[in-house]
Amino acid sequence: MRRKRLALAAVCVALVVLCSMPVFSAKKVTITYGNFSAGSDNEPTLNAMKAAFEKANPDIEVKLQSTGFGEYFRLLQTQVAGGTAPDCYELNYENFVAFAAKNALADLSPLAKAAGLSFSGYDASALDAFKYKGKQFGVPGSYSVVLLFYNKDLFDQAKAAYPGDKWTWKDVIEAGKKIRALGDDTFGIIQTVQFWEFYKTIAQNGGSLFNADRTKFTVNSPENVEALQYMVDKIIKYNIEPTQAQKSNQGEWDMFASGKVGMLITGNWAFTFMKDKCKFKWDIAVEPGNKQKACHFFSNGYAINRSSKKQQEAMRWIAWLASSTESSMLRLDAGWETPPVSDKSVIDAYIAERPPDNRKAVFDSLKYLVTPPVIEQFSEMAEVVDLQLQKARDGEKTPKQALDDAQRELEQKIRL
């Protein structure tokens, strides 16, 4: 029944789009599309998207160029420098800024206008992430948020209330203590102490890595020290989170799926894994904050090569891929992240899927977005902070010592 309903919605939207589309010439144009996120698991879905697009647009053939994430950006940088980049390609938010700053991307607004396309169907927050200096150099293709996953069975055994909208760090610790008391091999929570978690957690405490105009690092601010103390205390002081030794090289998802962890901080990309692996009742909630809520926002988008001779055809492909109902439904059926669209039928279909029951939390999280703190020397910055966070995590330094040392090293090595 659900598939019939989704198919009917897709057909209706397709008819509206086809009726409003301009007539294109019969001459077929081949465009190249570089991507990293299809991988072995999602390659069939991308092929299905390509086939559906080409059926609706017989004058365009899409040639897919899929590369593993580990090699993708190095290859793409080489291609851009050498003038051999694909006509259009996938970029994550962190790398989008770097490519836009180097003038490698085409401005999409005039291309969309010429094709009779609009940006109105996208989620506004996701769309804004792919602007640079006021211009739309990319469109969002998918997005993910990080949430609080929790094991309902363990909460019931511990007689602890389920996570709610008003929860704070204090509630996380108190619930974690009750769950930890269930057994030596049972833990309250896993939230990795590393750079990606740190910049989000300090935002929950009103902190930041920089001052307001990004001219100075503020890594060792009192707010940030307090946030890292919270992260470390869960491991060292309360041991509601396992140490590295207690993890015994087990994956965090596997530990949660084993039924021995009450809460896990991870992204909605884990839904399919948890649905297949968890033999207990579980759900999600918007991640608690301290002074305020703050949630990760990760997005992959699509951009057009500034040097491409086929920009108009590339615009039609990436717009369809990013925002059409048919593409969105294929993505939802595959469990391939969240489509970045405002179409109520798509959103309702996503929320209706089970588990988890509270899929609405994915969209509620959009009110509290924190994007990666992108600077030109992003990788070097993350590496410096990560090393000091590990020393605090393992008890080699206090949180203040670790962040003081990170601040000093960043000031020496990174230009803002």
Same domain, 138 and 149: no
Q: How far apart are CA 250 and CA 28, in angstroms?
A: 51
Last residue of a domain, one of 355, 382, 400: 355
Question: The tokens 């051999």 sit on which residue?
Answer: 84
- The Cα–Cα gap between 9 and 39 comes to 28
Among 177, 188, 235, residue whose Cα is nearest residue 391 = 235
Integer Cα distance of 359 and 349 in angstroms: 10
Residue 164 sits in the same domain as residue 122: no
Tell me if 360 is assigned to some domain.
no
Q: What tokens does 292 get?
A: 């305020």
Q: Are 262 and 172 in contact (CB under 8 A)?
A: no
Q: pLDDT tens-digit profile of 220-265?
A: 999 999 999 999 999 999 999 999 999 998 999 999 999 999 999 9
Decide if 99 is inside a domain: yes
Percent of the chain with pLDDT over 90: 74
Q: What is the tens place of the pLDDT at every residue in 333-352?
A: 887 888 877 778 888 888 88
Residues 153 and 118 in one domain: no
Which two tokens mark 186? 């049972």
Q: Give yes or no for residue 355 having a pLDDT over 90.
A: yes
The DSSP string of 349-396 is HHHHSSS-TTTHHHHHGGGGEE-----TTHHHHHHHHHHHHHHHHTTS
Does 160 share its domain with 212? yes
Q: Could you report the per-residue pLDDT of 166-201, keeping only the tens digit for each?
A: 999 999 999 999 999 999 999 999 999 999 999 999
Q: What is the model's pLDDT at position 26? A: 57
Residue that terminates a domain, selected from 315, 334, 355 = 355
- Residue 362 falls within a domain, yes or no? no
Q: What is the DSSP letter of 79?
A: H
Q: Are residues 137 and 217 in the same domain?
A: no
Note the pLDDT of residue 10. Answer: 39
Q: Which CATH number covers residue 314?
A: 3.40.190.10
Domain that holds residue 118: 2-142+300-355
Containing 171, the helix (H) or strand (E) segment is helix 169-180
pLDDT category, 126, cuts 50, 70, 90? confident
Strands 295-304 vs 369-370: parallel, antiparallel or unpaired: parallel
Q: Same structural domain for residues 90 and 106?
A: yes
The reply to whether 162 and 257 lie within a common domain is yes
- Give exposure, 327-341, as e/b (b: 16+ Cβ within 10 Å): bbbbbbebbbbbbbb
Q: Are residues 150 and 289 in the same domain?
A: yes
Q: Buried b vs exposed e over 194-208: b needs ≥16 C-beta within 10 Å?
A: ebebbbbbbbbbbbb
In this structure, are 138 and 42 located in the same domain?
A: yes
Domain match, 197 and 264 both: yes
> What's the CA gap between 10 and 3, in Å, rounded?
10
Q: Is residue 361 in a domain?
A: no
Q: Do 267 and 166 share a structural domain?
A: yes
Rounded Cα gap, residues 220 and 108, in angstroms: 40
